[in-house]
C-alpha cells in the first residue's frame, strides 16, 4: 500500500487552511448547492473559529500523499441527557466515487460513538443530493423525516431530509 491508498482522518488544524481552500476551489463545481466550504483565508478563519470549542469537532480526511479527501464536522454537540450532535461533511473532487468519504465518515462515527461518547448523530441532506444520501445509508443512518425550508444555503431556504444514527445501531 502506498501513500495514495492510506486514508488519514484527524482533527482539523489552522495550518490546514491552504489545503482546504485549494481543494474547495477545485471542487466548486462538484459541490454544487450542497456545501459551501471556505474558499479564501478570511472565510477559513471565520469557519474555523466557529468550530473551535467544546460544541464542535472539525476533522479533515486526507490521503497519505496529502490529497484532501474532504472535511467532516461534528457540530452543535449537546451533552448531558442528550449526547447528540449534527454531522456535516463535504467531499472534494479527487474523492468522488472512490469510497473514500464513506471510509472517512465511518471513521468519524467510530470516534463519535467511542471516545466522544455520543449517543446520536443527525445529518440533514437536501433531497436532491443523492450521492450524500447514498453515503449516509451505506454507513447505517436511517431516514427520520423531512424538514421544509430547513437550512439556508446560498441565500435560499432549502428543504432537507433528516437522517440519524444511534450509537447502538449497526454501522458498516
Could you tell me the CATH number of the domain that includes residue 17? 3.40.630.30
pLDDT at 114 over 70: yes
Q: What is the pLDDT of residue 172?
A: 73
The answer to whether the CB of 92 falls within 8 A of the CB of 24 is yes
- Whether 98 maps to a domain, the answer reads yes
Residues 58-78 pLDDT 10s: 999 999 988 899 999 999 999
Q: What is the pLDDT of residue 4?
A: 61
- Whether 133 maps to a domain, the answer reads yes
- Whether 172 maps to a domain, the answer reads no
Range of the domain at 75: 3-166
Higher pLDDT, 90 or 9: 9
Distances (CA, A) of 41 to 10, 16, 22, 99, 153: 21, 11, 10, 29, 20
C-alpha span between 154 and 3 (Å, rounded)? 36
Longest CA–CA span in the chain (Å) reads 45
Out of 4-8, 79-83, 138-142, 164-168, which region has the weakest mean confidence (pLDDT)? 4-8
Cell numbers for 96, please give them. 468522488
- Whether 157 maps to a domain, the answer reads yes
Mean pLDDT of the chain: 89
Percent of the chain with pLDDT strictly greater than 70: 95
- Whether 171 maps to a domain, the answer reads no
C-alpha span between 172 and 41 (Å, rounded)? 36
- Whether 104 maps to a domain, the answer reads yes
In 3-state terms, what secondary structure has residue 67?
coil
Structurally, the chain folds into a number of domains equal to 1
Amino acid at each position: 500500500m502506498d501513500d495514495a491508498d492510506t486514508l488519514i482522518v484527524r482533527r482539523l488544524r489552522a495550518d490546514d487552511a491552504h489545503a482546504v481552500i485549494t481543494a474547495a476551489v477545485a471542487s466548486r463545481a462538484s459541490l454544487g448547492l450542497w456545501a459551501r466550504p471556505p474558499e479564501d483565508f478570511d472565510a477559513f478563519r471565520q469557519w474555523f473559529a466557529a468550530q473551535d470549542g467544546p460544541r464542535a469537532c472539525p476533522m479533515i480526511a486526507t490521503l497519505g500523499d496529502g490529497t484532501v479527501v474532504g472535511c467532516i464536522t461534528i457540530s452543535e454537540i449537546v451533552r448531558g441527557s442528550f449526547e447528540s450532535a449534527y454531522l456535516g461533511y463535504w467531499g472534494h473532487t479527487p474523492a468522488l466515487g472512490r469510497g473514500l468519504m464513506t471510509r472517512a465518515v465511518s471513521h468519524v462515527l467510530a470516534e463519535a460513538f467511542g471516545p466522544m461518547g455520543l449517543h446520536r448523530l443527525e445529518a440533514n441532506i437536501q433531497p436532491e443530493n443523492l450521492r450524500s444520501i447514498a453515503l449516509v445509508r451505506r454507513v447505517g443512518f436511517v431516514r427520520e423525516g423531512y424538514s421544509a425550508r430547513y437550512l439556508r444555503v446560498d441565500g435560499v431556504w432549502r428543504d432537507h431530509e433528516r437522517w440519524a444514527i444511534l450509537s447502538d445501531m449497526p454501522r458498516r
